[in-house]
């Protein structure tokens, strides 16, 4: 039997190549357009953003059930001794709680980690765990490293509009922008508490992206960046711009460049561009 299995959910926005290379097991969240329900990984980003802009009613999202988690854990424990399961911030989704309810059946064989972040911020944590597993570290060492990684990963993004966060009920501590939405591009940071916080605003996407870069520089605090991930929601050119500027500023090659998946995209909308940086 293999020693440790690594599980995360589809909101981590990892590419198929990384999932395969790092032996990561994905449990999907779901998106529902009217009567049609899709697993996150079954709906392409292109199709999702097309439908998001065309449909009058905002789609709904749902997390995996404890039963679905239980089935996955049970199957993995036929092949692995233990499971590390890293998930989207518990302050933004019920996914972690569903995993916790499922864990009760398996006791000490399942080790849950609340990433306290979203999208590629969580993705960088999972890549750290995968690296540790390949190095042969034990559970205690990996969990300690994940705790350190969580404190040293910064996730920032900018939106075309707060409309989707507001409608989806995920606006967190960004309420201060609500009175001045016209032509404002908010810059949002995922805080240590795992919810969204104001980090600035701009009057154009270009200025917003430059503000994201500046915010990362302000957050560096002398720390050395070791991994960079960039994602966009139907905003390829803006994503490329942010990627290239961050690479130049931090002298670091991007580890992951991808589109934001459908479940996160329901709450952030088209035009979202963001990045996560892991520091030593």
**Statement: residue 63 has pLDDT above 90:** yes
pLDDT tens per residue, range 141-157: 999 999 999 999 999 99
**What's the pLDDT score for residue 234?**
94
How many percent of the chain have pLDDT more than 90? 79
Percent helix, strand, coil in the chain (nearest 5)? 45, 25, 30
Please give the mean pLDDT across all residues of the chain.
92
- Whether the model clears a pTM of 0.75, i.e. scores above it, the answer is yes
pLDDT tens per residue, range 96-108: 999 999 999 998 9
Q: What's the whole-number mean pLDDT along residues 71-91?
A: 97
Domains and CATH numbers, the chain: 2-151 (3.40.50.10170), 153-279 (3.30.1180.10)
| 134 vs 169, more confident | 134
- Beta-bridge partner residues of 24: 6
Measured distance CA(139)–CA(176) in Å, rounded: 42
Cα 16 → chain centroid: 15
**Statement: residue 41 has pLDDT above 60:** yes
Closest CA to 279 of 57, 98, 128: 128
**What's the pLDDT score for residue 280?**
93
Dihedral sign, CA of 183, 166, 8, 47? Answer: negative
Minimum mean pLDDT among 60-69, 74-83, 174-183, 213-222: which range?
174-183
Closest CA to 134 of 18, 23, 228: 23
**What's the pLDDT score for residue 54?**
87
pLDDT tens per residue, range 172-231: 545 545 544 556 888 999 999 999 898 988 989 999 999 999 999 999 988 999 999 999
**Statement: residue 18 has pLDDT above 80:** yes
**What's the pLDDT score for residue 57?**
85
Phi-psi region of 67 (alpha: psi -120 to 50; beta: other; left: phi over 0): alpha
Residue 155 near residue 127 (C-beta atoms within 8 A): no
């Amino acid at each position: 039997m293999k020693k440790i299995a690594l599980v995360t959910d589809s909101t981590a926005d990892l590419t198929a190549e990384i999932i395969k290379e790092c032996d990561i097991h994905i449990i999907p969240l779901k998106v529902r357009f009217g009567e049609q329900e899709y697993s996150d990984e079954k709906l392409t980003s292109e199709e999702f953003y097309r439908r998001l802009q065309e449909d009058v009613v905002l789609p709904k999202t749902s997390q995996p059930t404890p039963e679905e988690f239980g089935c996955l854990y049970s199957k993995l424990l036929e092949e692995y001794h233990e499971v590390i399961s890293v998930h989207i911030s518990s302050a933004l989704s019920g996914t972690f709680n569903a995993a916790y309810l499922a864990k009760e059946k398996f006791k000490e064989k399942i080790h849950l980690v609340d990433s306290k972040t979203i999208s590629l911020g969580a993705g960088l944590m999972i890549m750290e765990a995968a690296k540790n597993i390949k190095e042969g570290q034990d559970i205690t060492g990996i969990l300690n490293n994940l705790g350190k990684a969580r404190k040293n990963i910064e996730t920032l993004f900018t939106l075309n509009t707060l409309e989707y966060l507001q409608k989806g009920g995920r606006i967190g501590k960004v309420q201060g922008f609500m009175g001045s939405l016209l032509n404002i591009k908010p810059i949002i940071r995922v805080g240590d508490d795992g919810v969204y916080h104001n980090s600035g605003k701009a009057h154009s996407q270009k200025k917003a992206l430059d503000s994201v870069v500046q915010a990362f520089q302000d957050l560096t605090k002398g720390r050395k960046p070791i991994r960079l991930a960039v994602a966009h929601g139907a905003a390829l050119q803006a994503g490329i711009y942010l990627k290239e500027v961050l690479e130049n500023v931090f002298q670091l090659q991007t580890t992951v460049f991808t589109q934001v998946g459908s479940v996160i995209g329901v709450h952030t909308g088209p035009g979202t561009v963001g990045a996560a940086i892991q520091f030593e």
